[in-house]
Structure 1
Amino acid sequence: MTDLHTPLLAQHQALDATIVDFAGWQMPLRYSGDVAEHQAVRNAAGLFDLSHMGELMVTGPDAAAALEYALVGHMSRMKLWAAKYTMMCAPDGGVIDDLVVYRRDWEHFMVVANASNRVEVLAELRERITSGGFDADVADETHTIALIAVQGPASADIVASMCEIGADDPPALKYYSAANVLLEGGHHAFVARTGYTGEDGYELFVPADLAADVWELARERGADAGLIPCGLAARDSLRLEAGMPLYGNELSRERSPFEAGLGRVVNFGRADGPERGDFVGREALAGIREAGTAHTLVGLVGRGRRAARAGYPVVDEAGAVIGEVTSGIPSPTLGSPIAMAYVSREFAEAGTAVAVDVRGRHEAMDVVALPFYRRGA
Structure 2
Amino acid sequence: MRELWHPPADVLERTRIGAFLRWLEWEHGLRFDDYEALWQWSVDRTAEFWRAIWDHLEIIEHVAPTATLADARMPGADWFPGARLNYAEHVLRMPGVAGAEPIVISRSQTRGPVDLTAEELRERVRRVRAGLRRLGISKGDRVAAYAPNIPETLVLMLATASLGAIFSSCAPEFGTRSVVDRWQQIEPKLLVAVDGYRYGAKEIDRRAEVAAIREALPSLQQTVEIAYLHEGHDGLHEGLCTWESLTEPTGEPLEFEPVPFAHPLYVLYSSGTTGLPKPIVHGHGGILLEHVKMLALHHDLGPGDRFFWFTTTGWMMWNYLVSGPAAAPASRALRQSRMCDP
Give the alignment's TM-score, normalised by structure 2: 0.23
Bigger RCO (CA 8 Å, 6+ sep): 2
Give the alignment's TM-score, normalised by structure 1: 0.22
